[in-house]
Structure 1
Amino acid sequence: MSVTLHWFLPSHGDGRSIVDRPHVTASGANTPREPEIEYLAQVAQAAEHLGFTGMLTPTGTWCQDAWLSTAALLTRTSRIKFLVAFRPGTLTPTLAAQLAVTYQKISGGRLLLNVVTGGDSVEQRRFGDWLDHDQRYERTDEFLRLLRAIWSGEPVDFDGKHYQVRDARAFDLPDPVPPLYFGGSSEAALPVAARRADVHLTWGEPPAAVGAKVARLRELAEEEGRTLRFGVRAHVITRDASADAWGTAQRFLDEMDPADVAASQKRMAGLESAGQQAMNRLHSGVKTGDVRELEVHPGLWAGVGLLRGGAGTAFVGSHTEVADLVEEYHAAGIEEFVLSGYPHLEEAYWVGEGLRPELRRRGLLAPEEATR
Structure 2
Amino acid sequence: MTIQILGMIGHRLASETTPAEGPVFNPDYVANFAKAHEDAGFDRVLIGQWSDQPDGFIVAAHAGANTSKLKFLLAHRPGFIAPTLAARKYATLDHLVKGRLAIHVITGGSDPEQQRDGDFLTKAERYARTKEFLDIAKLSWYSNKPFQYNGKYYQVKDGFSEIKPYQSHLPVYFGGSSQEALNVAAEHADVFALWGEPLAGAAELIKNIRANEVNFERKNPLDFNISFRPIIADTEAQAWEKAQDIYRLTRDQIENRGLRKDKQSAQSVGAQRLVELASKEVHDTNLWTGISTLVHGNHNSTALVGTPEQVAESIAEYYKLGINSVLIRGFDPLNDVIEYGKELLPSIRHKTAELDKLNKIT
TM-score by length of 2: 0.89
How far off its partner does 1:364 sit? 3.2
Q: What per-residue deviation string (whole Å, max 9, x for no partner) do you get for residues 52-94 of structure 1? A: 1111011012432211111112221111111100101111110
1:302 maps to 289
Structure 1 counterpart of 2:286, one-letter code: G
1:182 maps to 174
> Given the alignment of the two structures, is residue 55 of structure 1 paired with residue 51 of structure 2, yes or no?
no
Distance 1:261 1:314 in 2: 23
Structure 1 residues 72-111: aligned runs within 5 Å:
72-111=62-101
Distance 1:134 1:327 in 2: 35
Structure 1 residues 139-218: aligned runs within 5 Å:
139-153=129-143, 154-176=145-167, 177-218=169-210
2:234 maps to 240
> Given the alignment of the two structures, is residue 19 of structure 1 paired with residue 17 of structure 2, yes or no?
yes
Going from structure 1 to structure 2, the CA distance change for 1:262 and 1:214 (only over 3 Å counts) comes to farther
How far off its partner does 1:307 sit? 3.7
Distance 1:347 1:34 in 2: 21
1:279 maps to 274
Equivalent of residue 133 in structure 1, options 123, 126, 129: 123
Q: What per-residue deviation string (whole Å, max 9, x for no partner) do you get for residues 225-266 of structure 1? A: 321001112211123322222221110112223846998798
For these two proteins, the number of residue pairs brought into alignment is 348
- Matched residue of 2:229: which SS? strand
Going from structure 1 to structure 2, the CA distance change for 1:268 and 1:207 (only over 3 Å counts) comes to farther
Give the superposed CA RMSD: 2.4
Distance 1:334 1:47 in 2: 21
Distance 2:312 2:204 in 1: 21
1:287 maps to none
Segment of structure 1 superposing worse, 111-120 or 334-343: 334-343
- Matched residue of 2:264: which SS? helix
Distance 2:304 2:103 in 1: 25
Equivalent of residue 112 in structure 1, options 98, 102, 118: 102
Contact in 2 for aligned 1:85/1:113 (Cα 8 Å): yes
> Given the alignment of the two structures, is residue 340 of structure 1 paired with residue 334 of structure 2, yes or no?
no
TM-score by length of 1: 0.87
How far off its partner does 1:317 sit? 0.9
Structure 2 residue runs of 5 or longer lacking an equivalent are 357-362
How far off its partner does 1:34 sit? 6.0
2:8 maps to 8
1:231 maps to 225
Contact in 2 for aligned 1:3/1:365 (Cα 8 Å): no
Segment of structure 1 superposing worse, 358-367 or 316-325: 358-367
Structure 2 counterpart of 1:78, one-letter code: S
Contact in 1 for aligned 2:229/2:302 (Cα 8 Å): yes
Distance 2:69 2:262 in 1: 41
2:359 maps to none
- Matched residue of 1:231: which SS? strand
Structure 1 counterpart of 2:312, one-letter code: A
How far off its partner does 1:366 sit? 11
Percent pairwise identity: 32
Contact in 2 for aligned 1:231/1:335 (Cα 8 Å): yes
- Matched residue of 2:34: which SS? helix
